[in-house]
């Protein structure tokens, strides 16, 4: 019976000796020195639908081989909820994987890592937190370390005219106007079509008139040349011309006389 209290005292001493080391092993999250910066954004403005950049300067004082494997975070409802309550986390950010970047130890230059996030909320002030996924090279264990908790102001982006979209609208408008113009030109009964038909008829009429005029002028010129050629007899000798005139006069005189009946010849019995 005396041995039982002795064993209990030994077990209690062993528990007291082992418990601190067990707690130390369970809480082996690395201690990181992280400075979070919103470049060219002193008021932490986050525009909806656009990439908003944040840069982490990561280092550690621990003598441990640590590598950065990813970045994540969440939008928080810090006005109406507290951490641990339902609805405190509005939306988790997608994990961005990183290809095993070693974290600087001691007094070396910190590791600079950019990260882009995009909200999709109504314009308002929201809480935000960022976490780094770190792997311990010695144990192979991954740690999700919260490195920043703050606020951002969500706003709508400024509406800027898209030159490419404007050029597309301009091209489509030009095509529609061209189609309407040619349709109005070719539509039966349209003013432009009747004008063109009238102009074509006038052109044909003028062409026909000019053709008949040219034919008359050609005929008159031909007749005049024929008349000129008929009276051009100066080259004929005078004697021949007189003979021709006498012959013409004689023939005209014979034509004016009545025709004589032929005499009957015969003997009376």
Q: What is the Cα–Cα distance from 162 to 149, expressed in whole angstroms?
A: 36
Q: What is the Cα–Cα distance from 1 to 7, expressed in whole angstroms?
A: 11
Q: What single DSSP character describes residue 261?
A: P
Identify the top-confidence range among 76-85, 125-134, 167-176, 202-211: 125-134
Domain annotation covers residue 3: no
Q: What is the Cα–Cα distance from 49 to 37, expressed in whole angstroms?
A: 21
Domain annotation covers residue 11: no
Q: Are residues 175 and 148 in the same domain?
A: no
Domain annotation covers residue 234: no
Q: Given the DSSP bridges, would you call strands 33-37 and 52-60 parallel, antiparallel or unpaired?
A: antiparallel
Judged on CB neighbours under 10 Å (0-12, 13-18, 19+), 48 is middle
Q: What's this model's pTM, rounded to 2 decimal places?
A: 0.53
Q: Are residues 188 and 148 in the same domain?
A: no
pLDDT tens string 93-106: 999 999 889 998 87
Q: Are residues 53 and 136 in the same domain?
A: yes
Domain annotation covers residue 113: yes
Q: What is the Cα–Cα distance from 71 to 128, expressed in whole angstroms?
A: 13
DSSP SS3 for 66: strand
Question: Which residues touch 131 (CB under 8 Å, ≥6 apart)?
Answer: 71, 72, 73, 144, 145, 146, 147
Q: What is the Cα–Cα distance from 135 to 133, expressed in whole angstroms?
A: 7
210: how many CB neighbours lie within 10 A of its CB?
A: 10
Task: Answer whether residue 124 shows pLDDT above 80.
Answer: yes
178: containing domain: 161-198
| Tokens describing residue 135 | 């792997």
Please state, for a pLDDT cut of 90, what percent of the chain lies above it.
38
**Per-residue pLDDT, 90:** 95
Q: Are residues 172 and 194 in the same domain?
A: yes
Domain annotation covers residue 122: yes
State residue 191 phi and psi, 5-degree precision: -65, -40
| Tokens describing residue 39 | 């470049």
Helix residue ranges, H only, the chain = 3-26, 163-186, 191-231, 238-256
Residue 65, CB-side half-sphere exposure with 13 Å CA sphere:
5
Judged on CB neighbours under 10 Å (0-12, 13-18, 19+), 152 is buried
Domain annotation covers residue 92: yes
**DSSP E strands: which ranges in 24-78?**
33-37, 45-47, 52-60, 66-76
Residue of 31, 49, 21, 229 lying closest to 121 (CA atoms): 49
Q: How many domains does the chain have?
A: 2
Task: Answer whether residue 257 shows pLDDT above 50.
Answer: yes
Q: Are residues 179 and 109 in the same domain?
A: no
- Kindly state the helix (H) or strand (E) to which residue 153 belongs, with its residue range: strand 142-155
Q: Are residues 169 and 194 in the same domain?
A: yes
Domain annotation covers residue 84: yes
pLDDT tens string 15-59: 444 344 333 334 688 999 999 999 999 999 999 999 999 999 999
Contact call for residues 30 and 145 (beta carbons, < 8 A): yes
Q: Are residues 43 and 147 in the same domain?
A: yes
Domain annotation covers residue 255: no
């Amino acid at each position: 019976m005396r041995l039982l209290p002795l064993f209990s005292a030994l077990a209690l001493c062993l528990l007291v000796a082992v418990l601190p080391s067990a707690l130390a092993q369970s809480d082996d999250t690395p201690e990181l020195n992280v400075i979070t910066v919103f470049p060219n954004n002193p008021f932490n403005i986050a525009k909806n639908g656009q990439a908003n950049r944040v840069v982490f300067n990561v280092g550690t004082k621990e003598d441990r081989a640590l590598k950065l494997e990813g970045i994540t975070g969440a939008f928080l409802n810090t006005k109406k909820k507290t951490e641990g309550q339902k609805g405190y986390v509005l939306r988790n950010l997608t994990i961005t994987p990183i290809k095993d970047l070693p974290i600087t130890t001691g007094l070396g230059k910190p590791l600079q890592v950019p990260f882009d996030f995009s909200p999709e909320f109504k314009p308002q002030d929201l809480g935000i937190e960022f976490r780094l996924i770190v792997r311990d090279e010695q144990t192979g264990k991954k740690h999700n370390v919260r490195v920043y908790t703050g606020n951002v102001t969500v706003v709508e982006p400024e509406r800027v005219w898209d030159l490419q979209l404007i050029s597309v609208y301009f091209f489509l408008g030009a095509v529609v106007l061209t189609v309407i113009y040619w349709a109005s030109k070719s539509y039966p009964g349209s003013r432009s079509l009747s004008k063109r038909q009238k102009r074509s008829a006038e052109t044909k009429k003028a062409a026909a008139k000019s053709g008949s005029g040219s034919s008359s002028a050609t005929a008159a010129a031909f007749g005049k040349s024929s008349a000129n050629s008929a009276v051009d007899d100066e080259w004929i000798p005078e004697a021949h011309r007189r003979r021709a005139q006498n012959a013409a006069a004689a023939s005209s005189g014979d034509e004016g006389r009545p025709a004589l009946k032929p005499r009957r010849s015969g003997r009376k019995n």
